[in-house]
Amino acid sequence: MIEAKSGQELAALKPDTPVPPASLTKLMTTYVVFRAIAEGQITLEDEVTISEKAWRMQGSRMFIEVGSRVRVKDLLLGVIVQSGNDASVALAEYVAGSEEVFAAMMNQYAQTLGMTSTNFVNSTGWPDDDHYTTARDLAILARALIEEFPEHYKWHAIKEFQWGDINQPNRNRLLWRDDSVDGLKTGHTEAAGYCLVASAERDGMRIISVVLGTASDKARIDGSQAMLNYGFRFFETRLLYKAGEEITRARVWKSASEYSSLGLMEDLYITVPRGTYDSLESVHNMPAVIEAPIAAGQPLGEIKVSLNDEIVVQEQLRALADNPSGSFWQRTVDTVMLWLE
């Protein structure tokens, strides 16, 4: 279980054990497709011709017909809401030409995201000994989906989707039980057991839970609900520093400006046990001498935030603006002063 904004782990049990992901694989399938859309390679309105391979897929299906043309958006909804294996293969073939090449793309993105214990061989989660992931890696992937594609992520909250004359409900029954839940995906095979990656948002705090290998649909739902309730009850998330906010200043020698403002390039959120926020302590570590020129975004030091002597967050402090070299006179004066230090 992690908090989405801060990325901090709140609870874990065997998070790095490789397991078959079943249909949780489709989280990466949609991630790759969302990437292709964001990069202008395809659009939601593109029509995909359904191959015989896609049409013949067994297991959960959207029930698309071979030779028919289906919009990318409809196929995505078929994957997200109905967990359609046929829709997954159709999208994989459209984006990459073949499911095999698409699986290679899935693995490339997994490595980029830091999913170091994952390997995909297909777009559906169909059982294969070389197809595996971990709870930690799935939490990383879920967080990336939520952060990078918020508009598309909203589709995970859709409770049912109709294609043709077939109306199928979302298998994530937490959507009906808890109004704060808005995603993500279920999975089930005999080897994987009943699995669920869920996410909920309450009072501006978002938690992602990953429950794998349970014995029943009820067990994965109850387990996920218990984790989410625990997280919201015993933890809180605060915005510690805003992007571009001056946290401290550094003396810069031989520069046009004597001091440079330091801060962070992105908002920094922190998750701590409820009631402990005021006990946080921060320390700035800076090099003894900093010389111009300084470029905006250049790392010049670090900030460590600790709770009860345990480091909770550690980030680089970066220059918030350029600070070019000073005049010949200023450089000369500072050079002499540094000699005398």
Before 21, cis peptide (omega within 30)? no
CA 8 to chain CA centroid, Å, is: 12
End-to-end CA distance of the chain: 51
How far apart, in Å, are the Cα atoms of 275 and each of 201, 279, 280?
20, 9, 11
Q: Residue holding tokens 């990466």?
A: 28
Positive or negative CA dihedral for 250, 252, 256, 258?
A: positive
Using CB atoms within 10 A of its CB, is residue 59 exposed (0-12), middle (13-18) or buried (19+)?
middle
Which residue is listed with tokens 């698309």?
A: 64
68 is catalytic: no
Q: CA distances (Å), 9 to each of 55, 63, 270, 271, in order?
A: 40, 39, 11, 9
Catalytic residue among 5, 6, 26, 255: 26
Contact 303, 282 (CB under 8 A): yes
Tell me whether residue 154 is one of the annotated catalytic residues. no
In angstroms, rounded to a whole number, what is the distance separating the alpha carbons of residues 315 and 284? 10
Q: Which of 5, 6, 60, 83 is flagged as catalytic? A: 83
* From 23, 88, 199, 255, the catalytic residue: 23
Tally of residues, the chain: 341
Answer yes or no: 23 catalytic.
yes
Active site residues: 23, 26, 83
